Structure 1
Amino acid sequence: MEIRALTKDDLDAVADLWNPLIRETTITFNPVEKTLDDLREWLAAPGPALGAFEGGALIGFASAHQFRGGLGYRRTYEHSINLAPEARGRGLGRPLMEALFEVLRPTEVHSLIGAITATNAASIALHARLGFSEVGRIPQAGWKFGVFHDLVLMQKIL
């Protein structure tokens, strides 16, 4: 597996991976699929966006951007990690996240937040193995597929 910074040339593959997750899962509460314009803006935002490639194909990506607006939050980032269905359960999330940590450590980012759907046990377990601690749960924080979903907040101090 090769891990590298994503470029604008990768955005079609990012959309092909991300949009089915938006359409079909509660991994994200957002019901609106990403357009190429959305992804160009996402890629241009401050913060890393890394892709995991196998045989030249994108099989996952991780990104991190400021947690909330304002200077007081400039050292706290929220991250996202998404793997293609064929990449899940193969231990590929760990090296992708560790690469994200390595990019962030030399920066001023001090704290990394993961906001995870409470029913996503695999993601919660991965984050715990990576040294994240559960710091909060927000009952019924998200709405998707006609039901409310709880959100688990996990944090790692870099």
Structure 2
Amino acid sequence: MTRFAEFREREESSAAGRTAPQGLPPGAGGALSPDLAVRPLRREDLVACAQLAADREGEGLPRWIESFERALRDECQLTLVAAAGEEILGYGKAGHLDPRSRGGRGMPTGWYLSGLVVRPDQRRRGWGRRLTEARVQTLVSRGVEEVWYFAAAVNTVSLDLHAGLGFVEVTRDFQAPWVSFTGGEGVLSVWRRPGFSGSAGPRTEACPSGPPR
């Protein structure tokens, strides 16, 4: 199982002559600003993240501002942002969910990755991978032993990225109560901490069971 390298919020080397950090896909290198970081969501990021979500999902900005405000207060949600100084380049979310309590099938209670969005002009630069690595690393640092992820079976780019980070397909026979998969079929995968032998993720009974939005 892939072991995540130690995550650092900021690059330590100077921008001159910098290459892509180890493990990033081709095209992620080049001269990078020293201000580049993957870090937790802050209140001053709310509007920028909400605009990215609204552009992606086609819903109103106020609805998404409220969603990100809620994420700041909720210990059962995790939101990290990719930033260049104060400029938001993308975000990635995770939430502790009980899908079966909402009518889901074949999905255990646990931490699920969700809501990965990168600004169109920043795609294919490795931000999706960085945000995914950082979310798993953050959850592991909090004692989480396994992290779940699902995507449409036709979304091979996302599936390949997660497989490269150690996620393993568990089943395609499941139903997420808040999702309709493009093509009609989804893939449920899990990343487990090396040495973990349990069959279900850690439970946090106080966590809400709503959709990861």
Over residues 106-142 of structure 1, what are the superposed CA-to-partner deviations in whole Å (9 max), with x where a residue is unaligned? Answer: 2231111112122222111110111101112248864
Report the equivalent of 2:89: 59
In the TM superposition, 1:1-158 aligns within 5 A as 1-23=36-58, 34-46=63-75, 47-54=77-84, 56-68=86-98, 73=109, 76-80=110-114, 81-138=116-173, 142-143=179-180, 149-158=184-193
Once residues 10 and 87 of structure 1 are traced to their aligned partners in structure 2, the CA distance between those partners, rounded to angstroms, is 17
Paired residues of 1:51 and 1:61 also in contact (CA < 8 A): yes
Once residues 138 and 38 of structure 1 are traced to their aligned partners in structure 2, the CA distance between those partners, rounded to angstroms, is 30
SS in structure 1 at match of 2:187: strand
Larger radius of gyration: 2
- Relative to its length, the structure with more helix (as a share) is 1
Normalising by structure 1, report the TM-score: 0.77
Paired residues of 2:153 and 2:183 also in contact (CA < 8 A): no
Residue 67 of structure 1 deviates from its aligned partner by: 2.7
Alignment-mate amino acid for residue 68 of structure 1: D
Alignment-mate amino acid for residue 35 of structure 1: W
Question: What stretches of structure 2 of length at least 5 have no aligned partner?
Answer: 1-35, 102-107, 194-213
Normalising by structure 2, report the TM-score: 0.59
Aligned residues between the structures: 146
SS in structure 2 at match of 1:90: coil
Alignment-mate amino acid for residue 38 of structure 1: S
Once residues 7 and 155 of structure 1 are traced to their aligned partners in structure 2, the CA distance between those partners, rounded to angstroms, is 28
Paired residues of 2:152 and 2:183 also in contact (CA < 8 A): no
SS in structure 2 at match of 1:119: coil
Aligned-residue CA RMSD (Å): 2.8
Question: What stretches of structure 1 of length at least 5 have no aligned partner?
Answer: 24-30
Paired residues of 1:140 and 1:149 also in contact (CA < 8 A): no
- Relative to its length, the structure with more strand (as a share) is 1
